[in-house]
Structure 1
């Protein structure tokens, strides 16, 4: 149960949820191949820049994902609250 996992400190959706779609897997493999090609073609300094670009992009994407999660979770709670009010005739 999710409440027990949260209470026990074992609820880490950002670390445990990984997309399983074929599109995701293909994109990850394509990124790996492209990075390998870049490592062979670029100077060591330029390749380090590419790695730093990827690291900073990952940070930005994580921040974006967190914002989307918070917004979606909040919207879900609002919908639940409104549904409860309608069922119980509250305003």
Structure 2
């Protein structure tokens, strides 16, 4: 029996290319988030890129942003809960 499984849609025109998107960025602990356009590199081996329609900030995002005495790395892109 032949395997006739084929992709249901053609490859994205951005496949293998960097893309531009908007991100909520925490520059420093406790400061307001800024929305900026950023460049995202193509996926590395064993990674995938998905189109995200909407993302939200949850309690852990807000807690992380507000930490003053924590060795956090800034700037940081927040919003790990997404739908798309």
TM-score, structure 1 as length reference? 0.24
Using CA pairs under 8 Å that are at least 6 residues apart, name the structure with larger relative contact order, 1 or 2: 2
Q: Could you say which structure has the larger radius of gyration?
A: 1
